[in-house]
């Protein structure tokens, strides 16, 4: 297929595809799906080999968020029967993180619900970061605390944070359809603050909320311009008790096409399969490893994930290897600045002139959504909704039960 040959060539050169090419990937037929995976897999292996980075979530504070993001089980007015608790103490958070690190994770993502941290909250998280790093010398720590105020990113960096997650969620033109309590511009500003403080920026999206292909391409091209080092791709977990509980718009095939499109647009960044992979990819999860080079291990913020042992077996059975702490995740040209995710001047898949660019629980503000009022036809899902695969987390952080890792 000429399209795929062109996209592979561009990916190996870190050249931006056209919008038409990105849309064409999403429009490919199921009969061509393995060809799409094969092509995007060439780009993935060129930049990341067969390594899979493992990340582990610790929900520092669960539920009772004042924001009204439609997709989120922790939102204002949510009737989802999730765990609700206030801040974990530093030792409690470090103990929770240890389970994921023992399972092979090299990055711990510290997440707290809410609009954004107070200065006191930053002090709490800073102490938690220091505690985790004292007990685990080589661990990467990513914070995800919502919208940042001036100076807070610098304080987190000084405490030892390596990265900051704040997702764009969806395209700018449809953002107001899913959230009214903050704006798309607020999110962009927080990613800029993380960059300016020397933190590795992590920003992604969520699919499956009724968005159009145009919405998906818009948000991924916007991410490329923002130049994050990692792009988590979440797939909506339709929690009962949230406004989007009836949105079952994804098939495993569509999830794979979305991941392939993200890989072609941002070929040399860490593409992470985040929340919802178990619900929507199901038995097709191993194929997704040919597209993404990073996953979350075990459970998410408020929902259960695949057993950690099953994650590790899946990686090995698919012919991949867990990335060790002795390896730098990013390609040399992006990691040249040092640290766990420093980006070079070329940016996310860009050539020099071009610039660059968890509900489903990958963190506060990590869910993305599609615009309800998009213009293109929304693909119909096949089969019945798999509500049996949506399980509220009842173990790990905030409970007396052992975590899943």
In the three-class reduction of DSSP (H, G, I as helix; E, B as strand; rest coil), residue 169 is classed as strand
Reply yes or no on whether 266 is catalytic.
no
Mean pLDDT, each 10-residue run in order, the chain (405 residues): 96 98 98 98 98 96 82 71 86 94 96 93 97 93 97 98 96 90 94 97 94 96 97 92 88 98 98 95 97 94 87 97 96 72 40 36 38 40 76 86 85
Q: What are the tokens at 181? A: 């309590």
Q: How far apart are CA 196 and CA 152, in angstroms?
A: 11
Q: Which domains does the chain have, with CATH numbers?
A: 2-389 (3.20.20.70)
Q: Which of 272, 277, 334, 393 is catalytic?
A: 272
Q: Which of 14, 75, 107, 142 is catalytic?
A: 142
Residue 373: φ, ψ to 5°: -105, 30
Residues 6+ apart with CB under 8 A from 134: none
Q: At what angle do helices 119-135 and 152-159 cross, to 10 degrees?
A: 20
Q: Which of 14, 44, 65, 364 is catalytic?
A: 65
Q: Which of 44, 72, 224, 364 is catalytic?
A: 72
Reply yes or no on whether 202 is catalytic.
yes
Reply yes or no on whether 65 is catalytic.
yes
Kind and range of the H or E element at 222? helix 213-226
Is the distance from CB of 320 to CB of 45 less than 8 angstroms?
Answer: no
Q: At what angle do helices 213-226 and 19-26 cross, to 10 degrees?
A: 130
pLDDT on residue 275? 93
Reply yes or no on whether 255 is catalytic.
no
In the three-class reduction of DSSP (H, G, I as helix; E, B as strand; rest coil), residue 148 is classed as coil
Q: Which of 69, 340, 348, 356 is catalytic?
A: 69
pLDDT on residue 383? 55
State the pTM of this model.
0.89
How many CB atoms sit inside 10 A of residue 24's CB? Answer: 18
pLDDT on residue 291? 98
Q: Which of 44, 75, 107, 109 is catalytic?
A: 109
3-state helix vs strand vs coil in the chain, percent to 5: 40, 15, 50
Q: Which of 75, 124, 187, 202 is catalytic?
A: 202
How many CB atoms sit inside 10 A of residue 278's CB? Answer: 23
Reply yes or no on whether 272 is catalytic.
yes
């Amino acid at each position: 297929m000429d399209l795929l040959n062109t996209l592979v060539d561009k990916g190996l050169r870190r050249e931006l595809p056209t919008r038409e090419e990105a849309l064409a990937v999403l429009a490919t037929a199921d009969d061509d799906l393995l060809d799409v995976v094969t092509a995007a897999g060439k780009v993935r292996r060129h930049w990341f080999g067969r390594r899979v980075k493992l990340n582990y979530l610790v929900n520092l504070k669960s539920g009772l968020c004042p924001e009204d993001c439609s997709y989120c089980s922790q939102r204002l007015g949510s009737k989802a029967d999730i765990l609700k608790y206030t801040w974990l103490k530093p030792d409690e958070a470090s103990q929770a993180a240890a389970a994921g690190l023992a399972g092979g994770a090299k990055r711990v993502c510290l997440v707290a619900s809410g609009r954004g941290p107070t200065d006191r909250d930053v002090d709490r998280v800073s102490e938690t970061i220091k505690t985790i790093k004292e007990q685990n010398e080589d661990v990467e720590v990513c914070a995800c605390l919502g919208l940042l105020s001036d100076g807070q990113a610098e304080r987190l960096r000084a405490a030892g944070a390596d990265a900051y997650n704040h997702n764009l969620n969806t395209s700018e033109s449809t953002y107001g359809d899913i959230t009214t309590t903050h704006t798309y511009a607020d999110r962009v500003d927080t990613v800029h603050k993380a960059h300016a403080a020397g933190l590795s920026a992590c920003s992604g999206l969520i699919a499956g909320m009724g968005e159009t292909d145009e919405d998906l391409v818009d948000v991924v091209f916007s991410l490329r311009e923002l130049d994050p080092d990692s792009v988590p791709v979440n797939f909506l977990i339709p929690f009962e008790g949230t406004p989007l509980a009836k949105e079952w718009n994804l098939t495993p095939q569509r999830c794979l096409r979305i991941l392939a499109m993200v890989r072609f647009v941002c070929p040399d960044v860490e593409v992470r399969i985040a929340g919802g992979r178990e619900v929507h990819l199901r038995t097709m999860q191993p194929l997704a490893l040919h597209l993404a080079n990073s996953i979350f291990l075990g459970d998410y913020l408020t929902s259960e994930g695949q057993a950690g042992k099953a994650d590790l077996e899946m990686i090995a059975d698919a012919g991949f290897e867990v990335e060790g702490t002795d390896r730098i995740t990013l390609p040399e040209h992006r990691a040249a600045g040092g640290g766990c995710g420093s980006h070079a001047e070329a940016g996310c898949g860009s050539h020099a002139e071009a610039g660059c660019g968890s509900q489903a629980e990958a963190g506060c503000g990590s869910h993305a959504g599609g615009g309800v009022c998009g213009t293109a036809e929304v693909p119909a899902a096949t089969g019945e909704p798999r509500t049996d695969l949506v399980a509220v987390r009842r173990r790990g952080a905030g409970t007396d039960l052992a975590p899943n890792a």
